[in-house]
Amino acid sequence: MNKKLPIGQRIVIYVILTLICLICIVPIITVVSISLSTDLVIFKEGYGILPKGFTFGAYEYALKDLEAILRSYGVSIFVTVVGCVAGLILNSMMAYVLSRKDYRFQKQLTIFLLIPMVLSGGMVPTYIWITKYLHLKNTIWVLILPMLIVPWFIILLRTFFSQIPSSLMEAATVDGASEMTIFVKIVLPLAKPALATVGMFITLNYWNDWFLPLMYIDNNELYNLQYRLYMMMRDVQEMIKNVSVSGMGISVADLPTESMRMAMCVIAAGPMLVVFPFFQKYFVKGLTVGGVKG
């Protein structure tokens, strides 16, 4: 039977856990508060948990071109969903092959896989390869394919797969199951924690990416959400610079800067805050179990 901790120890644990929760929650509340505050009050009084000079001005400015924002949301959602599903399938299939001890080229392929984790082909060769040979510039696929295979995710999944008892696979083989049947009906159901963990990482990679559209997208309709917000923030910075240089009758304090930055954080991070709880119960288990054995 489990013995209950003394009341004093339980109080200490509750206090520590409460402090940890506050450390995690207070920054989020502060970001939302700043996004609902006026810049003039922020400059005078600083940041706070409660909004100062309550206003939706930053959101009104950020969402003034609502059609473009919704289109960018659609691009980000499409890229994230397709990239996550395809990435999980391809990374897990390669990880399964590497986890099989009877695979003849296991060591060689593992070494080959580790090379990109240390060395990179460089930005210029990558740009030439994607634009001149693959002809992916200004297509939706250029936002998906470059990040589809990640060696570290394969290593994490391979480590998890290798801990599944080989007797299960041997029994399935004796019963006449093919490798694909073993992979789909035995390995994947047992690897839900690792798949959820890697899926969360892949989702964050795609959702937060702004560099690929910066490099390869010139078509305004293919901007994802992060790059759209980056462009808007750059426009605000240009406005501030032009106002300060030209001496126009507009106060720099009237232009949304700090509040707009935080409003963009809320707009961009909101969907991830909704998605994360669905991965949470698998997240820690997938990291710990998948990282125990090399």
Q: What is the pLDDT of residue 183?
A: 87
Residue 292 scores a pLDDT above 50: no
| Most confident by average pLDDT, 92-96, 113-117, 162-166, 243-247 | 92-96
Cα–Cα separations (whole angstroms), residue 37 to 30, 46, 146, 263: 10, 10, 39, 10
Please tell me the distance from the alpha carbon of residue 1 to that of residue 30, in angstroms, as a whole number.
Answer: 44
Average pLDDT value over all residues in the chain: 82
User: 1 falls in which pLDDT band (50, 70, 90)?
Assistant: very low
CA angle at 183 for the pair 180 and 188, rounded to the nearest 5°: 145
- What angle, 0 to 180 degrees and rounded to 10, lies between the N-to-C axes of helices 106-118 and 151-161? 140
What is the spatial distance between Cα 125 and Cα 261, in angstroms, rounded to a whole number?
34
What was the pLDDT predicted at 293? 44
Q: What is the pTM of this model?
A: 0.80
- Considering only 75-79, 120-124, 163-167, 245-249, which range has the smallest mean pLDDT? 245-249
Q: How many CB atoms lie within 10 A of CB 260?
A: 22
Task: Quote the radius of gyration of the chain (alpha carbons, Å).
Answer: 24
